RNA sequence: UCCUCAGUAGCUCAGCUGGUUAGAGCACAUGACUGUUAAUCAUGGGGUCCCUGGUUCGAGCCCAGGCUGGGGAGCCA
């Protein structure tokens, strides 16, 4: 009788039944003793032990069962007599769907460095570590949709290709079909974009926020979740040229509503990951603890990965203004003993990573939300406070990551917005459609941007952002 | 882009003060063993010591330039 095929994850939850024949497909992790196959199909962190009775199978077949080979196995699920697994598959038939030359296959049943695995990005997903990471990434992505859908937010697709390059969120990638060897020029010697595909210059988006605001003026609560592109020459463990961003935008939300939403969302996503991927997290936690053990005691984090996630879930984020933060930093022993590379000497300076880290990791030892930054170090669209000096901005800072969320209450007053744009040389003509929202039924509204990969970094404990996206893009690198 | 550390076998690394034939573990191959959990034991093959140039009687080791990778900074999410 034809049975529906089970995944490894599913069959591991079945009760042993000596009568029922299952067919399982997957890839060999290890083959021990010419008898025991660890088979993985990526459906979960656990592998299925397949037992080949000695002498039952042809030797030439056994030689083809190598690390990485793809197999189709039918057999019966039995209780395992040995420790390590509760059930195992007693094989009746083994078919090699795809051979894997053990001498040439780069993945071995041993620990590899992340740097090496980065070079074989097409294969690294088959490892336990990257299996866990990308299953968690999947859970987090789905949790984001669940969170917003349950709250009545509309998922809107903002454009990937955009005409505006006015936002100042970062350097942009050009989108063109012009022949780069024969670029048409106008009389002034400039590139003649009227000959280009869109009849004007176009770029990849650096943010869906401005378009998101348009949608919020129609649907009240919206979110975007899509790829974003920044052509910055950033070479760090926290930056990518192509990354995914979540950007909710809410009409009638003030800054406090905005912060509440962001904090609730982060906790919801983390909670879902703990609930649904506990074994993946256990695995990454062990990995994390091993790495921590290598570090000198002074640099070790007081909590392990699981404790840290739990801690974030259980404690309210610390909220304070930029001005309060500056006071704390100025009065800190760190500052007095001149341990900061960039001394905190006056109100108005932009906070450096070391300052953010001090607040989050030393002073408060929990996530921090900083609000009301000086207007001069923030974007043009943030709402000006009564003091005329600060804006209704909020950044959420996470331990080990730094800024994970950046948001604000938006400047909804036409005159104020226009003035800020002029002060900051934002071309108002190009953003006529954005200004229109303030002319036609404007309203108080707020929103934020969450860097998805940074959140996945926090959840998985991975130190380098290039390890939490399947195919990272960064300066000099677009492989696969 | 800047600062910093590194590059030796497929992988992870050792290699003394510059000295003759460059090592280990894992992986791989062959054999033995057979209820293993990254199996174990034995044997074996495997090297452009990142590249170019220089110093030296002699360079994996010293010097200069470059390439590649890691970490940190800036920009930010």
**For the segment A379-405, what is each residue's pLDDT rounded down to a tens digit?**
999 999 999 999 999 999 999 889 999
CA distance A370 to A381: 18
The backbone torsions φ and ψ at residue A23, rounded to the nearest 5 degrees and listed phi first, read -115, 125
- Angle at which helix A278-294 crosses helix A255-276, to 10 degrees, equals 100
How many angstroms separate the CA of A159 from the C1' of B68?
37
Q: Is the CB of A170 under 7 A from strand B?
A: yes
Distances from the Cα of A385 to the Cαs of A63, A135, A210, A410, in angstroms?
Answer: 73, 43, 21, 11
Q: Is the CB of A260 under 7 A from strand B?
A: no
Spatial CA neighbour of A141 closest among A35, A226, A260, A36: A226
The backbone torsions φ and ψ at residue A107, rounded to the nearest 5 degrees and listed phi first, read -85, 130
> Exposure pattern of A87-117 as b/e (b: 16+ CB <10 Å)?
bbbbbeebeeeeebebeebebeeeeeeeeeb
| pLDDT of A48 higher than 60 | yes
What is the distance in angstroms between the CA of the first residue and the CA of the last residue of chain A?
Answer: 42
Q: Is the CB of A177 under 7 A from strand B?
A: no
Return the bridge partners of A91, or none. A75
pLDDT of residue A299: 72
pTM beyond cutoff 0.90: yes
Q: Is the CB of A419 under 7 A from strand B?
A: no
**DSSP of A57-101, one letter per residue?**
S-HHHHHT--TT-EEEEEEEEEE-SSTT-SEEEEEEEEEEEE---
CA distance A55 to A123: 33
pLDDT of residue A290: 85
Percent share of chain A, pLDDT over 90: 81
pLDDT of residue A166: 60
A455 and A269 Cβ atoms separated by less than 8 Å: yes
pLDDT of residue A1: 56
Q: What is the mean pLDDT of residues A197-206?
A: 93
Q: Which CATH class is domain A8-98?
A: mainly beta
The pLDDT tens digits for A360-380 are: 989 999 999 999 999 999 999
> For strand B, which residues in window 279-338 of chain A come within 7 Å by CB?
none
CA A16 from chain center: how many Å? Answer: 39
Q: Is the CB of A184 under 7 A from strand B?
A: no
Q: Is the CB of A232 under 7 A from strand B?
A: yes
In this structure, are strands A87-98 and A48-51 parallel, antiparallel, or unpaired?
Answer: parallel
Q: Which of A161-175, A222-236, A416-430 has the lowest average pLDDT?
A: A161-175
Torsion of CA A65, A66, A71, A77, to 10 degrees: 70
pLDDT of residue A167: 64
| pLDDT of A298 higher than 80 | no
Nucleotide whose C1' lies closest to the alpha carbon of residue A81: B35
Mean pLDDT rounded to a whole number for chain A: 93
CA distance A417 to A426: 10
Positions of strand B less than 7 angstroms from a protein CB: 1-2, 10-13, 26-30, 33-39, 68-77
Q: Is the CB of A86 under 7 A from strand B?
A: no
Q: What is the mean pLDDT of residues A226-241?
A: 94
Q: Is the CB of A87 under 7 A from strand B?
A: no
pLDDT band at A179 (very low <50, low <70, confident <90, very high): very high
The pLDDT tens digits for A93-137 are: 999 999 999 888 999 888 899 999 999 999 999 999 999 999 999
Q: What is the mean pLDDT of residues A39-57?
A: 93
Percent share of chain A, pLDDT over 70: 98
Q: Is the CB of A405 under 7 A from strand B?
A: yes
E-only strand ranges, A342-428: 368-374, 390-398, 402-409
ipTM over 0.95: no
CA distance A263 to A239: 22
Domains A8-98 and A128-171+206-467 share a fold: no
Q: Which of A142-156, A217-231, A262-276, A298-312 has the lowest average pLDDT?
A: A298-312
How many angstroms separate the CA of A87 from the C1' of B66?
57
Fold designation for A128-171+206-467? BirA Bifunctional Protein; domain 2 (3.30.930)
User: Domain residues of chain A, as ranges?
Assistant: 8-98, 128-171+206-467
The set of residues, in sequence order, having a beta carbon less than 8 Å from that of A181 and lying 6+ positions away, is none
| Pair of tokens at residue A126 | 């088959």
Q: What is the mean pLDDT of residues A428-457?
A: 95
Alpha helices in A98-127 (DSSP H): 114-119
Distances from the Cα of A224 to the Cαs of A35, A99, A151, in angstroms?
Answer: 50, 42, 14
pLDDT band at A49 (very low <50, low <70, confident <90, very high): very high
């Amino acid at each position: 009788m034809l049975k529906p095929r089970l995944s490894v994850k599913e069959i591991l939850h079945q009760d042993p039944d000596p009568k029922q024949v299952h067919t399982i497909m997957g890839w060999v992790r290890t083959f021990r003793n010419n008898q025991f196959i660890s088979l993985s199909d990526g459906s979960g962190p656990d592998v299925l032990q397949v037992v080949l009775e000695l002498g039952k199978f042809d030797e030439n077949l056994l030689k083809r069962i190598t690390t990485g080979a793809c197999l189709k196995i039918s057999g019966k699920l039995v209780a395992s007599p040995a420790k390590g697994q509760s059930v195992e598959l007693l094989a009746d038939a083994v078919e090699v769907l795809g051979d894997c030359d053990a001498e040439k296959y780069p993945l071995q049943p041993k620990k590899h460095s992340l740097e090496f695995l980065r070079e074989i990005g097409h294969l690294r997903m088959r490892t336990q570590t990257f299996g866990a990471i990308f299953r968690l990434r999947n859970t987090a992505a789905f949790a984001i949709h669940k969170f917003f859908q349950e709250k009545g937010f509309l998922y809107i697709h903002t454009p990937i290709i955009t005409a505006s390059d006015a936002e100042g969120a970062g350097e942009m990638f050009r989108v063109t079909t012009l022949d780069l060897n024969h670029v048409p020029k106008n009389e002034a010697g400039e590139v003649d974009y009227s000959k280009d595909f869109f009849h004007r210059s176009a770029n990849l988006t650096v943010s869906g926020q401005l378009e998101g605001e348009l949608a919020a003026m129609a649907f009240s609560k919206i979110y975007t979740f899509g790829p974003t592109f920044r052509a910055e020459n950033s070479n760090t463990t926290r930056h990518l040229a192509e990354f995914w961003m979540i950007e909710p935008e809410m009409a009638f939300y003030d800054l406090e509503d905005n912060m509440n939403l962001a904090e609730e969302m982060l906790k919801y996503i983390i909670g879902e990951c703990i609930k649904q991927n506990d074994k993946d997290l256990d695995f990454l936690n062990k990995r994390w603890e091993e790495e921590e053990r290598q570090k000198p005691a002074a640099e070790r984090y007081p909590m392990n990965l699981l404790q840290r996630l739990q801690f974030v879930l259980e404690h309210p984020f610390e909220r304070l203004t930029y001005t309060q933060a500056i006071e704390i930093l100025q009065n800190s022993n760190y500052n007095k003993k001149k341990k900061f590379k960039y001394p905190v000497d006056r109100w108005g300076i932009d906070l450096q990573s070391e300052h953010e880290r001090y607040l989050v990791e030393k002073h408060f030892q929990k996530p921090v939300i900083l609000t009301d930054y000086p207007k001069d170090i923030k974007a043009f669209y943030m709402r000006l406070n009564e003091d005329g000096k600060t804006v209704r901005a909020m950044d959420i800072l996470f331990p080990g990551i730094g800024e994970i969320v950046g948001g604000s209450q938006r400047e909804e007053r036409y005159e104020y917005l226009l003035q800020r744009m002029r002060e900051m040389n934002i071309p108002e003509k190009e953003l006529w459609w954005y200004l229109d929202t303030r002319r036609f039924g404007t309203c108080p509204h707020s929103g934020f941007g969450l860097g998805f990969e940074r959140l996945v970094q926090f959840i998985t404990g991975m130190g380098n952002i290039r390890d939490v996206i399947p195919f990272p893009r960064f300066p000099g690198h677009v492989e696969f």
